[in-house]
Chain A
Amino acid sequence: SQQGEEDPQALSIQEGENATMNCSYKTSINNLQWYRQNSGRGLVHLILIRSNEREKHSGRLRVTLDTSKKSSSLLITASRAADTASYFCATDAGGNNRLAFGKGNQVVVIP
Chain B
Amino acid sequence: GAVVSQHPSRVICKSGTSVKIECRSLDFQATTMFWYRQFPKQSLMLMATSNEGSKATYEQGVEKDKFLINHASLTLSTLTVTSAHPEDSSFYICSANPPGLGTDTQYFGPGTRLTVL
Residues of A within 8 A of B (CB): 2, 30-31, 33, 35, 40-45, 48, 88, 90, 92, 94, 96-104, 106
Contacts of B93 in A (CB 8 A): 42-43
Q: Is the CB of A2 within 8 A of B106?
A: no
CB of A26 to closest CB in B, whole Å: 15
- Could you mark each residue 22-52 of chain B with 1 if its beta carbon is under 8 Å from any beta carbon of chain A, else 0? 0000000000101010000111111001000
Given A97-B103, A99-B103, A104-B43, A43–B108 Cβ distance below 8 Å?
A: yes
CB of B9 to closest CB in A, whole Å: 9
Inter-chain CA distance A41–B109, complex, in Å, is 9
Closest residue on chain A to residue B36 by CB atoms: A101
Closest residue on chain A to residue B91 by CB atoms: A40
The listed residue (B32, B34, B43) touching A103 by CB distance below 8 A is B43
Residues of B within 8 A of A (CB): 6, 32, 34, 36, 41-46, 49, 57, 91, 93, 95, 97, 102-104, 106-111, 113
Given A40-B91, A88-B43, A94-B46, A99–B106 Cβ distance below 8 Å?
A: yes
Q: Is the CB of B46 within 8 A of A40?
A: no
Inter-chain CA distance A103–B41, complex, in Å, is 9
Closest residue on chain A to residue B51 by CB atoms: A96
Closest residue on chain B to residue A92 by CB atoms: B103
Q: Is the CB of B46 within 8 A of A99?
A: yes
- What are some 9 contacts across the A-B interface (CB < 8 A)? A31-B104, A42-B93, A43-B44, A43-B108, A44-B108, A90-B103, A98-B49, A99-B95, A101-B46
Given A30-B102, A97-B102, A104-B43, A41–B110 Cβ distance below 8 Å?
A: yes
The listed residue (B57, B97, B104, B113) touching A33 by CB distance below 8 A is B104
Q: Is the CB of B97 within 8 A of A97?
A: yes
